Each structure stands twice: as C-alpha cells, then as structure tokens.
C-alpha cells in the first residue's frame, strides 16, 4: 500500500495579502469559513490505495464470564460460510499480534471456551478470530483480570473465598444465591414437614432420624468435587440428640465440636486414636462413599452430648472443622452465601465420590437461587 502526502503550508501573513477568508467547501454542500488571520497553516493528505473489500465473515465481540483465580470463560458467535477455523486468541499484552498469543480452537461457530491455567491477579487480553482460506477476521479486543487473594486475609479466609468462587461457578452457573437461603437449617425446615425415616443399624435395631447433614470440606475446586460427602451425620432430635456418623468422604482431618477425639476418621477406626491431626501429611482413607473403606455407622451420641430440637440448633451445636493449610477452618452454612453443609432429610442418598450434587440433582440450582422454591430438591 502506498501513501502520498501532500502538504501545503501557507503563512498567515501571506494569506492575508491574498484573501480575508479561507473557505472550506464540503461534499455535502456545506461551506465552512475561517478568517485568514486565524489560520497558521493547512495540511492536505491523500491516500492512494484500493479500499479493503468487506469480509463475508462476521466475528462477534467476546463475552467474558466466570473469571476465577486461574480461569475464565469466553463466549463468541461467528457467522459466515466456508470458515476453516475459528477460536480465541489471548495474551497478557494489550494490542498483541496473533502469532504471539495463546490459541484455543473451536469446532463450531457459536462457542464457549474455558481458558484455564492462567496466572492469578493478571490482566489478559482476548480476541476472537475466524479464518477462511487466507482471509483472517478478528473481533475487537477485550480484557479481564483474574482474581487474586488480598494479602491481609488469613489462610482460612483465602480458602473460604476460593471455595465460594468455585461454588458459584460450578454449582450455580454464575447465578445469585437467594438472600434468604438457609441451606435447610431454618427453624422449621424439616422438623415437622418431613416424616420420620426408619433405618436399620448394624446391630439390627431400628431408629427414627429427623435430619441428615451432608458437608463439603472447603477443598472443592471443580464441578465433580461438590459431592457433599466429606462428612455425613444423622441427627434425631432430643435431649441429648442422637448423632450418628454415616460417612467420611474427605481425605483431610475433620473434627466435630473442636474435639480431636471426635475426628471422623478416628471414629470410623481408619486412623489411630492418638494420631496427631496437625502433623498428618498423607491423604486419609475415605469411608462409605464408594471409595476407600466400608464401615458400619457409628453412634456418637454420648461423645457429642448436645440437645437439639430444630435444624437451626443442629447447625449451631454440631460445629464441623477441617484442618487445611495449617489451621482448623470451620465449615459454615451462612444465610444467602455459599455453604459447606446442607440439611436434608435422611431419605437423601449419600453421593459416591466425584458425583456432583448439581448433576445428580438438577433442581439443586433452582432451590439455591430461587427464594420461592420450597420443594425437596432431592426428591423431585
């Protein structure tokens, strides 16, 4: 492409001797008048080139969602016939060249890609592209910045934030949690609405159970991690309440009510009773979750020794903690925020390992995000 620049500089004093006014005549018929005494010089530039033909390919602006610590999702729509390749280009340099970027190729014109393995707290620039033979068409450039932990946070707060981000991304599809969502621990959630559940214990006797608590231990980072089987407890209201340990699918030390003797792997007998919980480095054995060991349920009523008459009391009086990243961290169920534990009735079947609660129970998302959803999401 050749450019020819023609510059005409007229000194104002010379123009004044020739004319009092400079008239600029536009193609639309309008004339703009400038007093010659106000004009310093005039530049004319002309470009001698053929106009670029319009492309038959249309590449939409990338839409960026679900930005996390090391990942983000990008959605794009591409239109046109004969497209041989389309996808996403991304880099950490603004205005990057295509050959200097990371590339993710899509097999379809309307697509969403997951950018993973990103650096935390880093700004990335993204362009969509489409190829048709030797023709390349690019979208406008968009940017996003991955999450980064606040250096003033404690390790527990950091782990909680990461858990919350994964919960929203993988379980709720980015939707907002209902502000009044109590995760089944409201005062009247199941105490009267649910019929008593009858089951046989290991010694053949039968008992009725009011509530089942299922919990996730803050280690979930992907969709299949949210199986909520890291500890499962059955609770029968009373004074004292009957508490039965049903499963322990976590591989980290996990205790009840701050008591190291009530560490769930110890209670199942797959960890020595005198083991130093804070010195454990290996993964612990999972129990009754389809991987690891199978054990009889364990009645821990006398060791726990608390009175419980409502789901809300079950939440407050059965404190669950996991030892993670050098400290004990509580597994909470905060109202209207991502939860580490859920209250269901005992007809809920404990999920086996790597079974996402969202995939196994599609109504979970509706229940978590809709304040008016009152059905038992695991029974529909």
Identify the pLDDT of residue 268: 97
Of the two residues 228 and 209, the one the predictor is more confident about is: 228
Q: Note whether residue 53 is domain-resident.
A: no
Q: If you average pLDDT over each of 12-21, 22-31, 218-227, 354-363, which comes out highest?
A: 354-363
Identify the pLDDT of residue 151: 74
* DSSP-derived secondary structure letter, 370: -
Residue 270, CB-side half-sphere exposure with 13 Å CA sphere? 24
Identify the pLDDT of residue 221: 66
Q: Note whether residue 321 is domain-resident.
A: yes
For the segment 200-218, what is each residue's pLDDT rounded down to a tens digit?
444 444 557 888 999 998 7
Give CA torsion, residues 346, 349, 350, 355, to 10 deg: -150
Identify the pLDDT of residue 24: 60
My answer on whether 125 and 192 are in the same domain is no
For the segment 145-164, what is each residue's pLDDT rounded down to a tens digit?
998 877 777 777 778 788 88
Given a cut of 50, whether residue 278 has pLDDT beyond it is yes
Kindly report whether the global pTM for this prediction surpasses the value 0.85: no
What value does the mean pLDDT take over residues 91-120?
A: 91
Q: Note whether residue 328 is domain-resident.
A: yes
The domain in which residue 358 lies consists of 174-369
My answer on whether 254 and 349 are in the same domain is yes
H or E stretch covering 216: none
My answer on whether 279 and 202 are in the same domain is yes
Given a cut of 70, whether residue 20 has pLDDT beyond it is no
My answer on whether 105 and 248 are in the same domain is no
My answer on whether 199 and 328 are in the same domain is yes
> In 3D, which of 123, 85, 119 has the Cα closest to residue 104?
85
Q: Note whether residue 163 is domain-resident.
A: no
What value does the mean pLDDT take over residues 103-110?
A: 92
Residue 133's domain is classified under what CATH number?
2.60.40.10
My answer on whether 105 and 196 are in the same domain is no
Given a cut of 60, whether residue 8 has pLDDT beyond it is no
Of the two residues 65 and 175, the one the predictor is more confident about is: 65
Identify the pLDDT of residue 192: 42
Q: Note whether residue 130 is domain-resident.
A: yes
298 to 70, 229, 303: CA distances (angstroms): 40, 16, 11
What value does the mean pLDDT take over residues 36-48?
A: 57
Identify the pLDDT of residue 173: 77
My answer on whether 267 and 215 are in the same domain is yes
Q: Note whether residue 352 is domain-resident.
A: yes
Given a cut of 60, whether residue 285 has pLDDT beyond it is yes
Identify the pLDDT of residue 78: 94
Average pLDDT across the chain, whole number: 82
Reduced to 3 states, what is the DSSP secondary structure of residue 304?
A: helix
Reduced to 3 states, what is the DSSP secondary structure of residue 200?
A: strand
Identify the pLDDT of residue 22: 62
My answer on whether 40 and 79 are in the same domain is no
pLDDT tier, 43 (very low <50, low <70, confident <90, very high otherwise):
low
Identify the pLDDT of residue 257: 97
What value does the mean pLDDT take over residues 329-344?
A: 93
What value does the mean pLDDT take over residues 258-278?
A: 97
pLDDT tier, 191 (very low <50, low <70, confident <90, very high otherwise):
very low
Given a cut of 90, whether residue 304 has pLDDT beyond it is yes
Cα(100)–Cα(125) distance, integer angstroms: 12
My answer on whether 348 and 231 are in the same domain is yes
pLDDT tier, 36 (very low <50, low <70, confident <90, very high otherwise):
low
Given a cut of 60, whether residue 52 has pLDDT beyond it is no
The tally of domains found in the chain comes to: 3
My answer on whether 191 and 234 are in the same domain is yes
Identify the pLDDT of residue 249: 95
Q: Note whether residue 165 is domain-resident.
A: no
Given a cut of 60, whether residue 287 has pLDDT beyond it is yes
My answer on whether 188 and 243 are in the same domain is yes
Given a cut of 60, whether residue 235 has pLDDT beyond it is yes
My answer on whether 39 and 181 are in the same domain is no
Work out the number of other CB atoms within 10 angstroms of the CB of residue 71: 16
* DSSP-derived secondary structure letter, 224: G
Q: Note whether residue 213 is domain-resident.
A: yes
351 CA to centre of own chain: 21
């Amino acid at each position: 492409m050749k450019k020819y620049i023609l510059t005409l500089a007229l000194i104002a004093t010379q123009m004044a001797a020739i004319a009092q006014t400079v008239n600029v005549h536009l193609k639309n018929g309008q004339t703009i008048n400038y007093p010659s005494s106000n004009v310093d010089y005039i530049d004319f530039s002309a470009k001698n080139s053929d106009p670029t033909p319009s492309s038959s390919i249309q590449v939409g602006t990338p839409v960026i969602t679900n930005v996390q610590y090391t990942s983000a999702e990008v959605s794009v729509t591409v239109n046109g016939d004969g497209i041989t390749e389309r996808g996403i280009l991304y880099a950490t340099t603004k205005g990057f060249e295509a050959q200097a970027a990371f590339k993710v190729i899509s097999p379809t014109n309307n697509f969403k890609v997951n950018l993973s393995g990103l650096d935390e707290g880093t700004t990335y620039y993204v362009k969509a592209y489409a190829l048709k033979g030797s023709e390349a068409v690019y979208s406008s450039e968009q940017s996003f910045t991955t999450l980064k932990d606040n250096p003033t946070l404690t390790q527990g707060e950091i782990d909680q934030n990461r858990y919350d981000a994964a919960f929203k991304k993988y379980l709720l599809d980015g939707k907002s949690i209902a502000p009044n969502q109590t995760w089944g621990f409201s005062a009247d959630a199941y105490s009267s609405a649910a019929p008593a559940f009858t089951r046989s214990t290991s010694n053949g006797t039968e008992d009725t159970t009011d509530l089942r608590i299922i919990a996730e231990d803050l280690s979930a980072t992907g969709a299949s991690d949210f199986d909520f089987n890291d500890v499962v407890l059955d609770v029968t209201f009373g004074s004292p309440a009957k508490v039965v340990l049903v499963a322990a699918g976590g591989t980290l030390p996990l205790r009840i009510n701050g008591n190291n003797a009530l560490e769930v792997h110890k209670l199942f007998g797959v960890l020595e009773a005198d083991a130093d919980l804070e010195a454990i480095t290996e993964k612990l054995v999972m129990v009754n979750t389809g991987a690891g060991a199978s054990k009889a349920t364990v009645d821990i009523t006398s060791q726990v020794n608390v009175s419980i008459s409502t789901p809300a009391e079950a939440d407050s009086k059965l404190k669950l903690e996991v030892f993670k990243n050098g400290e004990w961290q509580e597994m909470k169920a905060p109202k209207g925020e991502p939860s580490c534990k859920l209250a269901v009735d005992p007809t809920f079947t404990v999920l086996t390992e790597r079974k996402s609660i969202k995939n196994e129970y599609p109504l979970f998302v509706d229940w978590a995000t809709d304040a008016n959803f009152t059905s038992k999401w695991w029974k529909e």
